[in-house]
């Protein structure tokens, strides 16, 4: 199967994979504040992450391009949505267009549609520094994502089997490109140990890409004759992964949350746990493909409005304030953090006052 056919397979199976009734954030509850002492007009959602100014902390995470006309159309509409709503957008892996120049148009359209937006390039950790520079130039990107997807590759029938030297390759990319580099997972989460290694090589940010949303083990298992079922519930849930990353007090990395976000309350919880920005992929794709671009634009505007309402209730006038809002962590999430030696009282006993 060609790389571009596989891209379309992923979209088809990801759409099937979105039906979820519970959320990995259900075990996080904010402590109600009866005297928030702010109004909705006091809440600001714009936020600066390192050198990137974001007019809103949510963004469209990496999905597509490289699969011909169909992926061109999706990227075009995602870019139009990003422009209209002011959110940043990452493209899917550009390796397809680096290997086959005839696929470049499927990515270039994103910059064409949104000349002054924040756009993020994307490649896997197998990339060379020259390929990374090419990906950034292709869409005049403001930042570059390098994705880590070991479990997806191992489950993919035609996937990679050797992951030696990835950290060194990423370090070479970080040193050679001129834009900030974000290292991201694709739905299996990042541990504190992984984040520590990435902070040592000078990455700008980690996108923890946790378990709880799009499940690439499940998607790839649908494409296999004999499923590797042991990978279907493999991974670090998104809230746990954000907290693991945040628990490393000595690093300079920005933390980005993604994996399973579908509602304003979960986005606000993710940022209260430590994320500076939150990426949504599968949910936005589903909304676009099933309901159309106008519905996706409306959905993003509604999410931003609801985030403002929630922050008003909490008395948080900016994203930084959310890091001091008290919350309770229970159930399996609590158990996990406890076993990892992370003190949940840092969250339950903090205060904005």
Ligand X SMILES: Cc1cc2nc3c(=O)[nH]c(=O)nc-3n(C[C@H](O)[C@H](O)[C@H](O)COP(=O)(O)O)c2cc1C
Exposed / middle / buried, residue 129 (Cβ in 10 Å: 0-12, 13-18, 19+): middle
d(CA 264, CA 267): 5
Q: Which residue has the tokens 């991974």?
A: 235
State which residue, 22 or 351, has the beta carbon closest to ligand X. Answer: 22
What 8-state DSSP symbol labels residue 258?
E
Residue whose beta carbon is closest to ligand X = 213
Taking a C-beta distance cutoff of 8 angstroms, is the pair 244, 192 a contact?
yes
Write the CB contacts of 79 (distance below 8 Å, at least 6 apart in sequence).
89, 109, 110, 111, 112, 113, 114, 117, 119
**Structure token digits, residue 2:** 């060609």
Q: What DSSP string describes 208-228?
A: ---BSS--HHHHHHHTSSS--
State which residue, 184 or 192, has the beta carbon closest to ligand X. Answer: 184
Residue 171 Cβ, how far from ligand X at the closest point, in Å?
A: 19
State which residue, 307 or 314, has the beta carbon closest to ligand X. Answer: 307
Q: How far is CA 353 from the centre of its chain?
A: 31
What 8-state DSSP symbol labels residue 44?
-
Residue 46 Cβ, how far from ligand X at the closest point, in Å?
A: 22
State which residue, 256 or 325, has the beta carbon closest to ligand X. Answer: 256
State which residue, 12 or 44, has the beta carbon closest to ligand X. Answer: 12
State which residue, 85 or 93, has the beta carbon closest to ligand X. Answer: 93
State which residue, 135 or 314, has the beta carbon closest to ligand X. Answer: 135
**Structure token digits, residue 35:** 């005297």
Q: What DSSP string describes 122-185?
A: EEETT--HHHHHHHHHHTT-SEEEEEE-HHHHHHSTT-----TTHHHHHHHHHHH-SS-EEEEE
Residue 287 Cβ, how far from ligand X at the closest point, in Å?
A: 11
Residue 214 Cβ, how far from ligand X at the closest point, in Å?
A: 3
Residue 259 Cβ, how far from ligand X at the closest point, in Å?
A: 5
Residue 32 Cβ, how far from ligand X at the closest point, in Å?
A: 28
d(CA 164, CA 151): 14
State which residue, 117 or 235, has the beta carbon closest to ligand X. Answer: 235
Residue 236 Cβ, how far from ligand X at the closest point, in Å?
A: 13
Binding-site ranges for ligand X (CB under 6 A): 10-11, 14, 61-64, 92-93, 122, 145, 147, 184, 186-187, 209, 213-214, 258-261, 280-283, 285
Residue 338 Cβ, how far from ligand X at the closest point, in Å?
A: 26
């Amino acid at each position: 199967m060609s790389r571009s056919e596989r891209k379309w397979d992923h979209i088809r199976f990801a759409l099937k994979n979105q039906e979820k009734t519970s959320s990995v954030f259900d075990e996080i509850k904010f402590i109600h504040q009866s005297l928030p002492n702010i109004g909705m007009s006091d809440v600001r959602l714009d936020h600066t992450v390192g050198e990137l100014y974001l007019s809103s902390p949510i963004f469209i995470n990496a999905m597509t391009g490289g699969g011909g006309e169909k992926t061109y159309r999706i990227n075009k509409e995602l870019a139009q949505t990003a422009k209209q709503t002011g959110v940043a957008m990452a493209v899917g892996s550009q390796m397809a267009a680096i290997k086959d120049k005839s696929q470049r148009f499927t990515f270039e359209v994103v910059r064409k549609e949104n000349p002054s937006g924040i756009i993020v390039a994307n490649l896997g950790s197998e990339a060379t520094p020259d390929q990374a520079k090419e990906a950034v130039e292709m869409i005049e990107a403001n930042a570059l994502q390098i994705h880590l997807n070991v479990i997806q590759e191992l489950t993919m029938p035609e996937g990679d089997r050797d992951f030696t030297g990835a950290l060194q390759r990423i370090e070479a990319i970080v040193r050679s490109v001129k834009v900030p580099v974000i290292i991201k997972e694709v739905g299996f989460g990042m541990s504190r140990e992984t984040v520590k290694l990435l902070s040592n090589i000078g990455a700008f940010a980690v996108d923890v890409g946790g378990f709880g949303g799009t499940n690439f083990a499940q998607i790839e298992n649908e494409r296999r004759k004999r499923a590797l079922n042991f990978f279907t519930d493999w991974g670090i849930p998104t809230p746990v992964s954000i907290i693991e990353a945040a628990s490393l007090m000595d690093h300079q990395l920005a933390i980005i949350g993604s994996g399973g976000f579908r509602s304003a309350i979960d986005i606000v919880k993710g940022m209260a746990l430590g994320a500076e920005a939150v990426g949504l992929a599968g949910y936005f794709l589903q909304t676009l493909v099933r309901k159309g671009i106008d519905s996706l634009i409306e959905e993003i505007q509604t999410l931003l409005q609801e985030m403002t309402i929630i922050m008003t209730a909490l008395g948080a006038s900016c994203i930084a304030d959310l890091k001091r809002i008290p919350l309770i962590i229970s159930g399996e999430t609590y158990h996990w953090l406890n076993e990892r030696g992370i003190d949940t009282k840092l969250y339950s006993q903090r205060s904005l006052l």
